[in-house]
């Protein structure tokens, strides 16, 4: 799978509002003051899509992006053939994922069966 062309990134990552406000990338800025938490996460997604690694670890998406936007991001990542491990925040249902590993506070873990495994 080839990396996304830079011109396709704003629509793929849904960062058009952030990219329209970033005019001069050569200036030193405190991006935490310029961009919202949502925009910062979307810029990270755009960088991910541009780099097109084989595997990516994503922090919780729905907390900053909302459920619909998080689903769109996961679809864009999958469409580009990037394997992903999502550190879930509980807002996204497990149906979006091929497998779920639940890690307890004591370090124990379980792998609940997926829908396909219960058939």
Query: How far is Cα 67 from Cα 64, in angstroms, rounded to an integer?
Result: 9
Closest CA to 39 of 15, 57, 60: 15
**3-state SS class at 102:** strand
| Residue 87 contacts residue 60 (beta carbons within 8 Å) | yes
Q: Whole-model pTM? A: 0.69
**Which residues partner with 27 through β-bridges?**
none
Structure confidence by residue, pLDDT tens digits, 43-83: 889 899 999 999 999 988 888 888 999 999 999 999 999 99
């Amino acid at each position: 799978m080839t990396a996304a062309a830079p011109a396709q990134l704003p629509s793929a990552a849904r960062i058009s509002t952030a990219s329209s406000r970033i005019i001069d990338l050569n200036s030193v800025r405190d991006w935490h003051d310029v961009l919202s938490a949502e925009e910062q996460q979307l810029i990270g997604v755009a960088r991910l899509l541009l780099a097109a690694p084989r595997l990516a670890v994503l922090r919780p998406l729905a907390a900053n992006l909302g459920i619909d936007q998080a689903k769109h991001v996961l679809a864009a990542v999958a469409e580009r053939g990037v394997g992903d491990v999502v550190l879930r925040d509980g807002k996204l249902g497990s149906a979006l994922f091929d497998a779920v590993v639940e890690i307890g506070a004591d370090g124990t873990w379980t792998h609940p069966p997926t829908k396909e495994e219960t058939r």
